[in-house]
Each structure stands twice: as C-alpha cells, then as structure tokens.
Amino acid sequence: MHRSFPCCLLCVALLACGDDDGPSTTPMPDAGGDATDDAAPPPEDAGSDAGPRDWPPMTVPSSDEPAEGVVREVFTVAGSHPAANPMTGDETPTELDHTTVVRYRAAGAPSARSVIVAMPGLLAGAGTWQSLAIALVQRGASGGGVEVWAIDRRGNLLEDHRGTDTAEAAQDAEIAQGYYFGGDTIGGVAFEGLRTQGELGYLSEWGLATHVEDVRRVIALVPEASRRGHVFLMGHSMGGTFTRAYAAWRFEDGTRGVDELAGLIVVDGGGAAAGIDEEEYRAGGGGIGALTNPGLDRIRERTRFLELPILGASALVRLHVIALRALYAPTEIIEDDPGRDRLSALLLSLGDDEVPRMTNRAVLGFALDDASSAVTFAACALGSSSGGPLGQFTSPFGGATLLQPTDPEATYDWVDALDAEPAEWTPIELLARSASEGRTDFTEWYFPLRLPLDLGAVGDGNLPEDGYFAAQGIRAFDGELVDAPLLAISSELVSVESYEAVGPLLAPIGEGRPAAGAGRDDERAFRVLDVPSMTHVDPLTAADRPENPVPDAITEFLAEHSEEGTVAVPTMEESR
C-alpha cells in the first residue's frame, strides 16, 4: 500500500537530544565476538570519574574497499559560486563552493560502460546510496562495468566530522558520543556546537540553480563525447524530483540537462506534481508544510536551513552515534544515555521511565524499523525485536498503528531482517554501515530550505522563459523535450499511478539513443517497477539477494540504454 506522508515527518520525529553524562555500558550476556573487543583503548587518564577525556585524532581513509571487489573513493569537485543573500549581504565562502562525491567502482577496472550520478533525498547524504551502489558495481562487472557517484551536497561541508571520523577509525562509538555530547576533546579540540541560522545567511541562495550547476560540474568529469551515451542521473525521493528538473534544465549556453544524459532513474520520488505559484513561493506554505516551505522572503531573512523542532540538527548527530554503536557493539547495552532514551521514548510513545534496556542494535531497530518507528518517512524493514512483549500505539506523526516495547524491566534485542519469519529487506548491519561509514554522511545537518522551495516551483518542468521563476534562476523550461529513457521505482510514497502520469509529459526517445523513436508506451522508453512491500528507504538499503528486484532492474536498464564501449575516468586524488 502506498502512503503519502509529508516529507517533514523525518524532521518532526528525530527530535530528542541533549547534554549527557558519559554513558555506562554492560555487555549482553553471552554476547561474544563484539566489535568493541578491537576498539582503541581510551586515553590513560580516562576513567569513570575522570571527567572529560582527550582522544587522539584519527582519520578515515579517502579510498578503501567496503565490499569485495569494490573501491570507494571520496573526492570533491569545485562548484559554482552563488549570489549573496540580497537581504543580509552574506556571501558563500569560496571553500564551500564544492560538491563531495563518493565514487564506487570495480577494483582494478580502468573504465566502465555506465556511470550513475546519484542524488540523495531530503535531509539525506551520500551514505544512503551505499548498499545499492555496491550491489550495482558488483553486478555490473559482466556488462562492461558500472560506477556509482553518490552526491554529498555542499551543505555536508559545514559538518564537523572530527568525532565520527575518529570513532570510526578507532571502532569505538563512545568517542563520538563523548565529543558531541559529553564535553570530550579530540587532539585538544572541542566540539564548537552546531551552526545557527544567523551564521548561515548565505544558505538562502543554495537553491536549485546552485545544485544543478554543482551536479553539472560533476558530470563534466566524464569526457563530453561520452556523456550522452554513458551517464545516468538517479535520484531518491526529493532527489528524484531533482533528477527530472535537471533533465528539463536549459543552461545559459543552450545545452539542456538531458542532452548529456543516457537515462534517468527515479526511486520513490519525482512523480507527477503540480508546481506552487508565485505567491506561495514568496510567502510559504501553511500549517505543517511551513516546515519545508517557509517561503523565499523568510528563508532570506532568518530560516535558511531545515532545523529540526526542539533541538535542531543534534538529532542527526545522535543518529550517527546510534548507528556507530549498532555497528561496532551491536549486543552491548548502554545503561546511562538520557538523550538517547528521550529519543526512544518519543519515537515509541513511551514515558521517560518506560524505556527498557536495549542492545545497541535494538535501539537502532526500534528507531527505524517500519513496524515500530514513528519516522515512517525514513523507516526500513529491518526485522523484529526479541526479549520482551510488544503492544500497539498510534503514531502521533501520521496515525499509523505501530509496535512498542511494553515491559520496562525486560532487555530487548533484535532479530535481523534475513533471520525474521518471513525475511525482510534491510539487515541492520547494512543500515548501520550506510549510516556511519566513510568521510561523508547519511544525513545533511544543514539542509538548505531554498532547494525544496525551488523544486516545488518546477512542476512538469515547462516553466515559461520570461516568468517569475526564471527570474529566480529556475531554468526548468524543457520538460516536454526530455527524450531520454526513464526507469521509475515505486515503493511506499510514490504510487504507480503518479508515475504513469509522467510518461505522457515526456518526448519519445531521441535520435542517436539505443531505443530511438520509442514512445512512452514502450517499456524501453518508460518503465515502472512496483515493489510495494518495500519501505521508502528499502530500495537503497536492502540486501542484494534474488528476492530484491531493484539492482536487477537498474542493471538491465543500464545495459539496454548505455552505448557500446566504455568511458575511462581517472582516479581522483583526495581533495577534502
């Protein structure tokens, strides 16, 4: 069943954080083999009563192998320079005029037949693509090779990853916990706190035009003659809407976005939608919609990024810590973490004194499993809990009937997705890896509200060239001329019917393409894959196994619409 939840549910639900005392831990009985056995030892002067600790700084490599035969490289690409905020004069620092790319490629492969540039959704970062990217690279070896370039938008450059990088390198989540929430330092440096709206006035101009130019410069790493035959743009959720807008974009030099793309892939996003009008664009939406659309005037004046209610981006930092704990110490129990417990209480509609003992993997499972999490927009099918009874509650963030632990004296653990009966989609370890590994992020702490505002204006991508939105730099003029093939994947939020309404808006496949002349009633030109048993996020995070149709569908699409031959892109040197 497809449900249409407001995209702000994620930001409403990830709320609870706060200043914490250092947590105490106990192992799960008979746990054995915990990742924490290999964790770096604490500083010599650390102890339960030693107060704040200073940890030696450690770094995460810019190139590694996250899976057999797959290389992951992180590099940055210089982007465009936005105009200054016209109300305040704040101008983007030049060091932020960059996009971070996480490149997944086959080890030892000098070239690839298909290059996918992948744009994440609302509040999401490059890490959301990790499991799917690895599956596509591994499967692509027999078809000439596939690379996936996952985008971390420029907003991620504002994040302080000293704590998460050091924790990952040491395989000890408590380093990150102490750095962000416990007053610890790393190499003598303390966390300076999260940025404020007032500090980031220039984010008001980080809209669709800025991000389109940034992505174009990433695509430009592929030789010009090879782009139309080998480069695919893929987007999830809001990133799917971006994908369609990019294809309809007409650049100042007359080039259309689709002219340099072999095909489009949208994953539970980018369905048919009417654009907002000029009045709503300037003044904003009403009610709950105001969280993601406060309007251009307010964005320029004071509300520049999507700030989570109550305690802002700190909830996203805590999610990273929770994922690190689930990865490196899955069966350990953290006895004293008030901030985490407040988050669990909120998501599960429990009182502060009703949150039971939980293993680290159970904390992540209850928080983001589709059967229990009020964060429906970000939930995965992760398996099920064990160790104690469950009851039902009605989610305050959408009205769904969900499950909650009901015995505050019990100790809850987690049954993984592939061990559940019946098996589900996303193993909790895969989610934890996606949410915590690498120099980039699963989320975006300072998500610029100008981007969804501009995307809301695009509609079918046929804006008038002399209209109001064109004056705001939104050049999505040529939606009806998009002549590249489109693969749409429908899971939880975007229905097949919404996608089917998109087909008639597009042109037949253009000359020189493998399926030239095919109309949108031809599956070579327009195909919808329906996987209603998956959540909104599962297509990106699910295990690569025969029951998962997503990697096969994308691999087949690439094989059908990539030109013969391969494109060679040199390995990028670290620039971050």
What does the alpha-carbon distance between residue 292 and residue 265 come to, in Å, rounded to a whole number?
A: 24
Write down the pLDDT at residue 575.
Answer: 37
Nearest Cα neighbor of 544 from 122, 149, 140 is 140
Is the pLDDT assigned to residue 321 strictly greater than 90? Answer: yes
Q: What DSSP state is assigned to residue 187?
A: T
Q: Which residue has the tokens 């008979």?
A: 30
Q: Which residue has the tokens 């604490």?
A: 42
The answer to whether the beta carbons of residues 482 and 248 sit under 8 Å apart is: yes
Mean pLDDT of 479-506: 96
Element (H, E) at 353: none
Paired tokens of 96 = 């932020």
Query: What distance lies between CA 300 and its chain's CA centroid?
Result: 25
- Catalogue the E-assigned strands of 7-97: 25-26, 54-55, 63-67, 70-78
Is the pLDDT assigned to residue 573 strictly greater than 80? Answer: no
Write down the pLDDT at residue 311.
Answer: 53
Compute the mean pLDDT over every residue in the chain, rounded to the nearest whole number.
89
Write down the pLDDT at residue 431.
Answer: 97
Nearest Cα neighbor of 359 from 25, 133, 64 is 25
Write down the pLDDT at residue 33.
Answer: 33
Write down the pLDDT at residue 287.
Answer: 56
Tens of pLDDT, residue by residue over 49-107, are: 567 999 999 999 999 999 999 999 999 999 999 999 999 999 999 999 999 999 999 99
Write down the pLDDT at residue 288.
Answer: 54
**Residue 201: band (very low, low, confident or very high) from pLDDT cuts 50, 70, 90:** very high
Which is higher by pLDDT, 8 or 347? 347
**Residue 246: band (very low, low, confident or very high) from pLDDT cuts 50, 70, 90:** very high
The answer to whether the beta carbons of residues 218 and 151 sit under 8 Å apart is: yes
Rounded to a whole number, what is the largest CA-CA distance in the chain? 73
Paired tokens of 542 = 């699910």
Tens of pLDDT, residue by residue over 100-135, are: 999 999 999 889 999 999 999 999 999 999 999 999
Hey, what domains does the chain have and what are their CATH numbers?
9-38+313-436 (no CATH), 64-308+448-561 (3.40.50.1820)
Tens of pLDDT, residue by residue over 259-300, are: 999 999 999 999 888 899 999 999 997 655 667 789 999 999
What does the alpha-carbon distance between residue 326 and residue 320 come to, in Å, rounded to a whole number?
A: 10
Write down the pLDDT at residue 11.
Answer: 37
**Residue 47: band (very low, low, confident or very high) from pLDDT cuts 50, 70, 90:** very low
Is the pLDDT assigned to residue 251 strictly greater than 80? Answer: yes
Mean pLDDT of 432-441: 92
